[in-house]
Amino acid sequence: MARTPTSATICGLTTRQWATKCGGFALTIFLLGWFYGRALPHAYPKDRQFGFGHGALHGALMPMALPSLVLGKDVEIFAANNSGRPYKIGYIVGINLCGLLVFGSAFWKPKKKS
């Protein structure tokens, strides 16, 4: 019986699947950095004290700042002129909601039909 050649796998994924995942990841990082750069002036208006709502917005945007920070751009991730505890609670809520959306969608697998 002739053996059919099998493609090499790394952690259960073929080279093509790895390339697709890496390309998708790079595109996602680029788009998040671009979106953060566009949203930054609107999310941090000058001469304003920030409360819960802006804290949640800043917390949700904070993970998107990573590509800009890695590339050497010094961007804001936390407002110094804030209302104290309400802003900080909003910031934590924003980070957690962003994490839920990102990691929840990354690890969610639809049920297979039987």
2, part of any domain: no
Strands 9-10 and 13-14: antiparallel
How far is 20 from 27, CA to CA, in rounded Å?
11
Query: Would you state the structure tokens that stand for residue 7, as one six-digit string?
Result: 């493609």
27, part of any domain: yes
37, part of any domain: yes
Q: 3-state class of 107 per DSSP?
A: helix
How far is 56 from 91, CA to CA, in rounded Å?
5
Domain that holds residue 82: 16-107
Please compute the mean of the pLDDT values over residues 86-97 and round it to a whole number: 95
1, part of any domain: no
113, part of any domain: no
| pLDDT confidence tier of residue 104, bands split at 50, 70 and 90 | confident
70, part of any domain: yes
Mean pLDDT computed over every residue of the chain = 83
Query: Would you state the structure tokens that stand for residue 63, as one six-digit string?
Result: 């993970």
| pLDDT confidence tier of residue 3, bands split at 50, 70 and 90 | low
41, part of any domain: yes
31-73 confidence digits (pLDDT tens): 877 888 788 888 888 888 999 999 999 998 888 888 888 878 8
Domains contained in the chain, number? 1
Query: Would you state the structure tokens that stand for residue 68, as one six-digit string?
Result: 């800009």
5, part of any domain: no
